[in-house]
Chains A and B, each alone.
Chain A
Amino acid sequence: MLHLGVGSHDGKTISSSTLVMNPDKQALEMLGQAVQKAKAQDPSGFDQRIKLITSSKALVEYLASYKGLDRSMQIEGLAASMPTDALTGMADMMDKKVIEYKVRPASASSNWVTMSVKQDRMASYSDNSGAVTTLGLGSLPQCPSAWAAFWAWFAFNTAFCAPFAAYPPAAVACALGLGLGGMIIDFNKGC
């Protein structure tokens, strides 16, 4: 693997180009062993990472842009070589075009891979502490358990306020009161 360098063309994008050699027979054998080992160690985590990769359009396109490589081997190799959290972040950033990869053939057995990072998108993607945020999705539930908590809260509100229907001012007061009360609940705490 040959690293070419880092550059900024417009002040908003940082790009880095790398010459990546296609794996030879020995490297493929080692990769196969690594895949088997990862599968044996954590089968469910491995399956989760496979699903994560195949459901990310940007990741699949990126892997497909390498010519002459077996697609399933690439996917399994990536799933075996990255932890789930890191892969989740990578897929998310690629899907949101914070990071973009472009692959162009250099020779029959190598490719130039250019990684571009959009600085403005990166700034809105991570807050000052470096913790990943949701690109301004705010208080929207961000995982299945958060949505479950949200729907439970909504069902409670409805059940609580519906009896006030006979007297509309009380229904408004009930909805407003519970709407304000809902703000102190962090649905995403369990994510």
Chain B
Amino acid sequence: MTKARNFSLSLSLVLGAGTLAVGLVPQPMVFLAGALLLGLLGVVTLRFRGWRWVQDRELESSHSVFAVGCVVAMTLASLLRSTDWSFVLVPVVSIAVTTSAFYWLDRHVDIQDSRSSSDP
């Protein structure tokens, strides 16, 4: 697995886990779970320190798709929270979000070693 794909998978899994936490974990534990996930995200980011994200130039007009998608996923999870079907729907949303995020990142975003690329 390439480094970019590895990073995309890690990020997608954190996003999926975040959707699960927001949709299923009861209060106040959800805030602890959220803090742990944000910490995990920090660890993942640090692991790829020195690498920068390069987006597909064709996507300049819709470059915020991923960010808006993350917001929609979290909003959907918080809406589904406490519903009778949350134990079914939230995992389904989480799997869909993880898969979609990985597919989108893998297809449209790459990472480059900023140190080597800055060299003449």
Using a CB–CB cutoff of 8 Å, the interface residues on chain B facing chain A are: 11, 14-15, 18, 22, 27, 30-31, 34, 37-38, 41, 44-45, 53, 55, 63-68, 70-71, 73-75, 77-84, 86, 105, 109
Contacts and interface: CB of A to CB of B under 8 A. Distances in A.
Contacts of B67: 158, 161-165, 168, 171, 174-175
6 contacts: A157-B75, A165-B65, A174-B70, A177-B34, A178-B71, A180-B31
Interface residues of A, number: 30
Nearest to A137: B83
A74 B2 CA distance: 73
A173 interface: yes
Given A165-B65, A167-B53, A168-B105, 10 more contacts: A135-B84, A138-B82, A138-B86, A139-B82, A169-B41, A172-B14, A172-B41, A176-B41, A179-B78, A183-B31
Contact of A175 (B27, B73, B84, B105): B73
Which secondary structure dominates where chain B touches chain A? helix
Contacts of B15: 172, 175-176
A179 B22 contact: yes
B34 to A, nearest CB: 4
Contacts of B37: 176
Contacts of B86: 138
A140 interface: yes
A105 interface: no
A136 interface: yes
A160 B63 CA distance: 15
A164 B71 CA distance: 11
A146 to B, nearest CB: 12
Interface in A32-71: none
A164 B81 CA distance: 26
A182 interface: yes
